[in-house]
Amino acid sequence: MNTPQKNTHWALVTGASAGIGSEFARELAARGVNLVLSARRLDRLNALADELKAKHAVAIECISADLADPAAARALVEEIHHRGIAIDVLINNAGYGVPGKLTAPAWQEHADFIQVLMTAPVELCYLLLPGMQQRSYGRIVNVASLAGHMPGSAGNTLYGAAKAFLIKFSQSLALENSSRGIHVCALCPGFTRSEFHDVSGARGVVSKMPDFMWMNADVVVRQGLDAVERGDVVYINGRVNRLLRFFGKHLPDRMALKMIQRQSKRFRVQDGK
């Protein structure tokens, strides 16, 4: 195991092998935070770790985990403890989208999605919070989405619902721990340039969105880490996204749903039943 260098804090980043997760790893390493990187693809984690150790004086551990497995979150935390590491910063980033309407995929795809995007983040918080509380220090970023603030869309049926859950969960967790030196933030980016849309099969659809709708992953991450450090409980990246959230919140429900219904085909894969 690597020996920690300048910083005694350790961060766990889930879904760290690509996209926003790898940018969290890069930014945290640049800030001197030691890292536990977790994802399914250990080869990509090791390559990222080599890159970061060459640039920054931080310790890095890589642990393969598939959070779709109901036993994975607890096994991940047990392995971290076995390696003698106490996690002070938790980045619940692992996630993806299931394209199509509700009955298009097999149920197991939805069950795995719920496990990865909802159950696993909550369980990781549940398992790691006691240590943070004992040390009177903790930072938790739950990567949600602008979609969690907007009306539901046709296609990717569970995505907005899961992200809305993360936002409400983060708010409650923040209130419960605000006096204990622990900051919790639901980070809500909009369209972000990363591998996310390739994995979900939506690249061909979302590539038609105008350039001003997009943000770079490194900017999203820097803003998110600054937000949780300030104590922001919910942070929406970008003025355009904050404006969209304003309209989504204040338009009458019927009007907002009609608008999303017309626009869903521009950013959601709707093939299937």
Query: Which among 84, 80, 109, 113 is positioned nearest to 13, based on CA atoms?
Result: 80
Q: Which of 126, 137, 159, 235 is catalytic?
A: 159
Question: What is the rounded CA–CA span in Å between residue 142 and residue 24?
Answer: 12
137 given a catalytic annotation:
no
Produce one character per residue of 18-35: b if its CB has 16 or more CB atoms within 10 Å, e if not. bbbbbbbbbbbbebebbb
* Catalytic residue positions, numbered: 159
